[in-house]
Structure formats: C-alpha cells, structure tokens
C-alpha cells in the first residue's frame, strides 16, 4: 500500500482586478457561493485527501483570509510582492519538500474534478508532475503526445505544436513530486518556465484530461454570473 504524504497549496495571492469593484474589498477566492467562499468549497474537497498540511499564499487583502485559515488550520504565507506560481514554489521549498507530493490548487476556480482519483492515480504511477487539463479551444496551449506527455506550451518561448499533437488548457490544479522543486526559482517566475526546465532535463510531465468535468474560473463579471448560476443548480436545497 502506498503511504505517500501530501501537502496542499492554495494559490490566493492575485488581485482579481477584472472583478473590480467587488474585489477591492473581497479577495477573489473568498467570493461566496451558496453560503461558502470558493476557497472553502475547495478546502472541503482536498480535506478528503487526508493531507499532512494545507498551506496558502496571500498578497491582496491578506487579513481577509484570517477566519478561513483559522477555521481549517491552514498555514498562511504572505508575499510582500507577487512572485508568480513558480516563484511561490521556489520560496517555499523547505515547506513543500516535507511531504512526498504537493497538490497545487488555484484558490479562485470551482470544478467537479475527482481529486481523490487524481491523487491516487499520481501516487500509483509515481508521477513527477501531473497537470489537469480542460478543453478551451480558443486558448488551449498545453501540448502533449499520444501518451499524454507534455511536449511544450504552444505560443510560449516560440514553441509551436505539431499537427498531430493534442492541446488542452491548464486548469490551475496539478500534482507534483517534491523533486519538481529543483526546477523552481525563489524569485518572480511563471510556472511554465519550471515546466520547460523539467522537460529540458528529460523529466516527464503528464497532462490528465478532465474535459468531461465542469470547471469555472469566475475572472470576469460575466463568468461570475455563469458560475453563480451553475452553483445554484449543483447545490439546490432539497424541499
């Protein structure tokens, strides 16, 4: 039986600027849906994975996260300057390397992914890195082969997908082995640069297709309305 240990890391440092004026006083991950914030919905999902620890980073309105962090026993790391996902991982190497794996989860997305299945799959396969992909044809850039191994990021650093390649969009949810931290810098950097460094070092990064599931990034007022309507349908109160 696999007894691998897990850290869950929620990314909550963004400004949510496209949702102004709403996010001037409420960080995007704390926007409520059906009585709970998006972050709380996601925390309750990952608790089922029995993680060793749950952590989060903050920047915009960090004091607003105090109640949630205390309620769920989450350790908070405030970034005086936003570092990007790659930089956040690099600065927290000592914390993240305490467990075998760490699950990265954007704090401001909602979905119906089976995270237990995703984590179990990764552990059983001894994954180095597994990225959940979704199908958004206009912006798909994760380029992978028939074995679902990442080849590159279409449009990033001049990379162009070949005709036979498949493409999906990164959902903001990924599972990494702690060795992935060797490719993360403790400075402002995009996670894509860490992926590319790992690929250049012959590491395998898997793209797991969860396009059949629901996924919402409520980054605009229009998307927020759609997400709210979906949550109302998904969590109807039974009469």
Q: How many residues does the chain have?
A: 239
Q: pLDDT: is 237 or 236 the higher one?
A: 236
| Residue 225, Cβ density class (10 Å: 0-12 exposed, 13-18 middle, ≥19 buried) | exposed
Mean pLDDT of all residues in 35-61: 97
Whole-number pLDDT of residue 186: 86
Report the C-alpha gap between 101 and 114 in whole angstroms.
Answer: 17
Q: pLDDT: is 236 or 85 the higher one?
A: 85
3-state DSSP call for residue 63?
Answer: helix
Report the C-alpha gap between 81 and 187 in whole angstroms.
Answer: 10
* pLDDT, tens only, 125-142: 999 999 999 999 999 999
Are the beta carbons of 21 and 67 closer than 8 angstroms? no
For residue 225, list its beta bridge partners: none
Place of tokens 């996670």: 191
Q: Indicate if the pLDDT at residue 1 is higher than 80.
A: no
Domains and CATH numbers, the chain: 6-234 (3.90.550.10)
How many DSSP H helices and E strands does the chain contain?
A: 7, 13
Report the C-alpha gap between 136 and 139 in whole angstroms.
Answer: 6
139: DSSP letter? T
| pLDDT confidence bin for 4, thresholds 50/70/90 | confident
Whole-number pLDDT of residue 157: 86
Whole-number pLDDT of residue 2: 55
* pLDDT, tens only, 56-107: 999 999 999 999 999 999 999 999 999 899 999 999 999 999 999 999 999 9
Mean pLDDT of all residues in 15-44: 95
* Rg, Å, the chain Cα set: 17
Nearest to 133 by CA among 155, 118, 123, 120: 118
Q: Indicate if the pLDDT at residue 202 is higher than 80.
A: yes
Whole-number pLDDT of residue 232: 93
- Structure tokens given for 78: 């405030």
Q: Indicate if the pLDDT at residue 168 is higher than 70.
A: yes
Q: Indicate if the pLDDT at residue 239 is higher than 70.
A: no
144: DSSP letter? E
List b or e across 148-160, with b for residues whose CB sees 16 or more CB atoms inside 10 angstroms: bebbbbeeeeeee
| pLDDT confidence bin for 238, thresholds 50/70/90 | very low
């Amino acid at each position: 039986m696999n007894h691998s240990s897990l850290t869950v890391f929620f990314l909550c440092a963004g400004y949510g600027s496209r949702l102004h004026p709403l996010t001037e006083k409420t960080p995007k991950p704390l926007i409520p849906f059906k009585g709970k914030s998006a972050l709380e919905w996601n925390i309750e999902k990952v608790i089922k994975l029995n993680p060793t620890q749950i952590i989060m980073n903050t920047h915009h309105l960090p004091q607003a996260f105090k109640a949630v962090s205390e309620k769920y026993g989450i350790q908070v790391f405030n970034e005086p300057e936003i570092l990007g996902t790659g930089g956040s991982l690099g600065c927290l190497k000592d914390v993240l390397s305490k467990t075998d794996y760490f699950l990265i989860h954007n704090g401001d997305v909602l979905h119906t992914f089976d995270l237990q299945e995703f984590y179990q799959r990764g552990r059983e396969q001894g994954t180095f890195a597994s990225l959940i992909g979704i199908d958004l044809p206009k912006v798909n850039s994760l380029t992978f082969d028939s074995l679902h191994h990442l080849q590159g990021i279409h449009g990033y650093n001049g990379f162009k997908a070949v005709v036979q390649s498949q493409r999906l969009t990164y959902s903001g949810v990924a599972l990494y082995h702690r060795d992935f931290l060797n490719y993360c810098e403790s400075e402002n950097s995009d996670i894509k640069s860490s992926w590319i460094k790992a690929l250049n070092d012959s590491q395998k990064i898997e793209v797991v297709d969860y396009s059949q599931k629901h996924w919402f990034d409520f980054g605009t007022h229009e998307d927020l309305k759609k997400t709210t309507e979906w949550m109302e349908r998904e969590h109807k109160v039974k009469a």
